[in-house]
C-alpha cells in the first residue's frame, strides 16, 4: 500500500532546493515531499546529495536557493534546535554522541528535563530506560557511551531522536552498524511511529533492506531527482538503474590463478573482554590465509569479528595465541611495525579510528605512508602530493582535490579515503572491517573490483561483513563466527540461508 497517495497534502515540502559549496553545486533544484504516516526512502550514490538535502530540511545547513514548506507554510530553520522545535529530528549517518558522557546524558544533551532550576535526573533516567527497552537494549543509562559497541552507539543515536517525539524523523543510514536482529527491532519501531502519523524519511545503501519499509521511493543522482514511485511499482533493479544508470554486479571471486604461499597464519588466538578478563571475545581461533586469497568473515554483532581483526592488526592485546606472516612471527610487534611488515587494517569506525577531521583529503590519505616522503629532516611535499593524487584516483574518491576538507566528503567517499590510505601502503595482507559501511552499490562494486585486482597480484584479503550478500560477491572462502569461534566454513556455492543459519541468525521463510 502506498500511504502517500492516500494522505493528501505533504507535511513537509522542499521546492527547488539548490545548494552550492564554492563552485560545486551539490543540489540542483530538488523538489521533495514528505507525507504523514509514510516512509519515504531516498536512494542515491554517495555524493548524490541525499545527506545535503536532509541537512537542509533539519536545519543543519541553509539552502543557497529554494523554499521549505511545513504544513503548506514557508519556514526557515535557523539551526537544528529550531527545526526540532518545529517537530523535525534527524539521525545522522555519522554519530554525534559525546563518548565521555553517560547514555542518559547523551539522550538528553541540549534538552534536559527540569524541575524548577534543577535538572530532573530521575525522570530522565526513567524515560531513558523506557526508550532503551523499546529498542531491545539492556544498557545501564549510567554507562559511558565510549564503553559501548558501535552498533549500540548507533541505537543510542536512534533512541535520542525517539525521545524528541518528532512529527518528522529523518534517518540517515540508521542500520549501518546494526545486526539483523537490531534492524528488525528498528523496523518494528518505524511501523509503530508511522501508525501514529509520524513521517519518516529513510536513507540507506542497504537496498533490499530498505524495500521492506518503503512506502514511496525517491532517487537522487548528481544533485537532481531522477525518479519517484510508490513502493508497489519499484524493485531492486529499478532502484539501481535510476541510481547508477545500469545494473551493477558486485562481482565474483577472482579466478584464473593459483594461490601463493601462506600469507597470514592465526593460531590459537584468544582476545579477552577488557571489562571481564575471564570472558573471551575471541576464543582459541585459528585461520590460515594464502597469497591471493580473499576470505570473508561473517557473524552477528558480538561474534568477535572486529575484535579478531583488531587483535591481528595490533590494536588489541592477545590473551593467547600467535600470529605469523610469511617473514615470521609478528605477535609481539606494534601496530606501526605490523603496518611496516605489510599488514594493513581498515577499521570499522572511520570517524574514530580512520580519519583526522582537521586534515585535508590528501593529508588523510598520506598519513600511513608519511615515512616514505621523509628525506632527512624534511618531508617531500611533491612526493606526498603525487602519492595522494594516485590514491584518490585508485579508489575513485569524489572530491574537489587533495586539498579539500575531509568533512566536505560524503560518508561513502570518506570511507574510500580510509581504504585508499591503507591500500596505498602496498600491504601484503589487507584486513577490512565492514569496508562497505555507508557505501552505495556503485562504490561497493568499485571497492570489490579494487580488492579483486590486488588479490590477483598476490594480496591476501580478510574482510568482515554483516551483509550476507557481500559474502557471496567476491570471497573465495566464507568463515562464519559465533561467540568468538569459527562455527562454519563455506565456499561461494553456499546459499544466504545456510550462512545465516550457521551464524545463529533466524531465517524467516518468504
pLDDT tens-place string over residues 13-61: 999 999 988 777 889 999 999 999 999 999 887 678 888 899 999 999 9
pLDDT interval class at 356 (50, 70, 90): confident
Q: Between the ranges 106-110, 245-249, 306-310, where is the mean pLDDT highest?
A: 306-310
Q: Give which of 161, 218, 192 is closest to 33, Cα–Cα.
A: 218
3-state class (DSSP) for residue 101: coil
Mean of pLDDT values over 442-465: 88
Cα→Cα distances 181→94, 145, 328, 345, 466, Å = 21, 21, 41, 27, 11
**Cell numbers 535526573: residue:** 121
Mind listing the pLDDT tens digit for each residue in 264-279? 999 999 999 887 888 8
> Rounded CA gap, 454 and 439, in Å?
20
pLDDT at residue 7 greater than cutoff 60 = no
pLDDT reported for residue 246: 59
3-state class (DSSP) for residue 18: strand
pLDDT interval class at 313 (50, 70, 90): very high
> Rounded CA gap, 236 and 208, in Å?
7
3-state class (DSSP) for residue 88: strand
Average pLDDT, the chain: 86
Sequence spans of domains, the chain: 3-244, 249-342+427-509, 358-426
pLDDT reported for residue 147: 86
> Rounded CA gap, 53 and 41, in Å?
13
CB-based contact 454:428 (threshold 8 Å)? no
> Rounded CA gap, 503 and 480, in Å?
6
Mean of pLDDT values over 146-160: 83
Torsions phi, psi of 378, nearest 5? -120, 155
pLDDT, greater one: 253 or 375: 253
**Eight-state DSSP code of residue 231:** G
pLDDT at residue 509 greater than cutoff 60 = no
Q: Residue 271 pairs with which residues in a beta bridge?
A: 282
**Cell numbers 502506498: residue:** 2
pLDDT interval class at 4 (50, 70, 90): very low
Mean of pLDDT values over 467-473: 79
pLDDT at residue 214 greater than cutoff 80 = yes
CB-based contact 364:355 (threshold 8 Å)? yes
**CATH for the stretch 249-342+427-509:** 3.40.50.300
Q: pLDDT above 90 covers what percent of the chain?
A: 39
pLDDT interval class at 110 (50, 70, 90): confident
3-state class (DSSP) for residue 172: strand
Same fold, 3-244 and 249-342+427-509: yes
pLDDT interval class at 229 (50, 70, 90): very high
Task: Name which of 387-396, 441-450, 491-500 the model is least confident about.
Answer: 441-450
pLDDT reported for residue 510: 38
**Eight-state DSSP code of residue 121:** H
In this prediction the pTM is: 0.63
**CATH for the stretch 3-244:** 3.40.50.300
pLDDT interval class at 455 (50, 70, 90): very high
pLDDT reported for residue 6: 60
pLDDT at residue 447 greater than cutoff 70 = yes
> Rounded CA gap, 459 and 312, in Å?
16
Give helix 411-423 / helix 441-456 axis angle, nearest 10°.
10
The CA radius of gyration of the chain, in Å to the nearest whole number, is 23
CB-based contact 177:150 (threshold 8 Å)? yes
pLDDT at residue 3 greater than cutoff 90 = no
pLDDT at residue 296 greater than cutoff 60 = yes
> Rounded CA gap, 343 and 428, in Å?
6
**Eight-state DSSP code of residue 371:** G
Task: Name which of 50-64, 348-362, 368-382, 400-414 the model is least confident about.
Answer: 368-382
Amino acid at each position: 500500500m502506498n500511504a502517500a497517495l492516500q494522505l493528501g497534502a505533504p507535511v513537509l515540502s522542499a521546492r527547488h532546493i539548490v545548494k552550492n559549496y564554492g563552485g560545486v553545486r551539490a543540489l540542483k533544484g530538488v523538489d521533495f515531499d514528505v507525507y504523514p504516516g509514510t516512509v519515504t526512502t531516498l536512494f542515491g550514490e554517495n555524493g548524490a546529495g541525499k545527506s545535503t538535502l536532509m541537512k537542509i530540511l533539519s536545519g543543519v545547513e541553509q539552502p543557497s536557493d529554494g523554499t521549505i514548506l511545513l504544513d503548506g507554510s514557508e519556514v526557515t530553520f535557523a539551526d537544528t534546535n529550531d527545526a526540532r522545535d518545529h517537530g523535525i529530528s534527524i539521525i545522522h549517518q555519522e554519530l554525534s554522541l559525546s563518548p565521555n558522557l553517560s547514555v542518559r546524558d547523551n539522550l538528553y544533551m541540549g534538552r534536559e528535563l527540569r524541575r524548577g532550576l534543577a535538572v530532573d535526573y530521575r525522570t530522565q533516567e526513567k524515560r531513558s530506560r523506557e526508550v532503551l527497552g523499546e529498542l531491545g537494549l539492556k544498557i545501564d543509562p549510567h554507562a559511558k557511551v565510549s564503553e559501548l559497541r558501535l552498533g549500540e552507539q548507533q541505537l543510542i543515536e536512534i533512541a535520542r531522536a525517539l525521545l524528541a517525539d518528532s512529527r518528522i524523523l529523518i534517518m540517515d543510514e540508521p542500520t549501518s552498524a546494526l545486526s539483523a536482529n537490531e534492524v528488525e527491532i528498528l523496523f518494528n519501531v518505524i511501523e509503530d511511529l508511522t501508525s501514529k502519523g509520524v513521517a519518516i524519511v529513510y536513507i540507506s545503501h542497504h537496498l533490499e533492506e530498505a524495500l521492506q519499509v518503503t512506502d514511496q521511493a525517491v532517487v537522487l543522482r548528481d544533485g537532481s531527482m531522477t525518479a519517484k514511485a510508490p513502493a508497489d511499482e519499484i524493485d531492486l533493479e529499478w532502484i539501481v538503474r535510476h541510481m547508477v544508470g545500469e545494473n551493477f554486479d558486485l562481482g565474483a571471486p577472482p579466478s584464473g590463478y593459483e594461490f601463493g604461499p601462506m600469507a597470514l597464519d592465526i593460531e590459537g588466538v584468544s582476545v579477552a573482554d577488557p571489562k571481564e578478563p575471564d570472558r573471551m571475545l575471541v576464543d582459541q581461533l585459528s585461520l590460515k590465509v594464502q597469497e591471493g586469497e580473499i576470505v570473508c568473515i561473517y557473524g552477528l554483532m558480538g561474534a568477535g569479528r572486529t575484535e579478531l581483526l583488531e587483535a591481528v592488526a595490533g590494536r588489541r592485546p592477545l590473551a593467547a595465541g600467535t600470529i605469523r606472516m610469511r617473514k615470521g612471527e609478528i605477535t609481539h610487534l606494534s601496530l606501526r611495525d605490523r603496518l611496516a611488515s605489510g599488514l594493513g587494517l581498515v577499521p570499522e569506525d572511520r570517524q574514530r579510528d580512520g580519519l583526522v577531521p582537521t586534515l585535508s583529503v590528501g593529508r588523510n590519505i598520506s598519513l600511513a605512508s608519511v615515512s616514505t616522503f621523509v628525506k632527512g629532516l624534511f618531508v617531500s611535499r611533491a612526493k606526498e602530493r603525487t602519492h595522494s593524487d594516485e590514491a584518490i584516483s585508485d579508489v575513485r574518491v569524489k572530491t574537489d582535490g587533495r586539498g579539500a576538507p575531509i568533512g566536505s566528503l560524503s560518508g561513502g567517499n570518506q570511507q574510500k579515503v580510509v581504504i585508499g590510505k591503507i591500500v596505498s601502503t602496498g600491504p601484503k595482507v589487507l584486513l577490512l572491517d565492514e569496508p562497505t559501511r555507508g557505501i552505495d552499490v556503485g562504490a561497493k562494486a568499485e571497492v570489490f573490483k579494487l580488492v579483486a585486482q590486488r588479490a590477483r597480484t598476490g594480496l591476501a584479503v580478510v574482510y568482515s561483513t554483516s551483509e550476507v550478500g557481500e559474502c557471496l560477491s567476491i570471497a573465495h572462502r566464507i568463515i562464519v563466527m559465533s561467540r568468538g569461534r569459527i562455527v562454519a566454513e563455506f565456499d561461494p556455492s553456499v546459499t544466504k540461508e545456510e550462512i545465516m543459519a550457521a551464524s545463529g541468525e533466524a531465517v524467516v521463510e518468504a
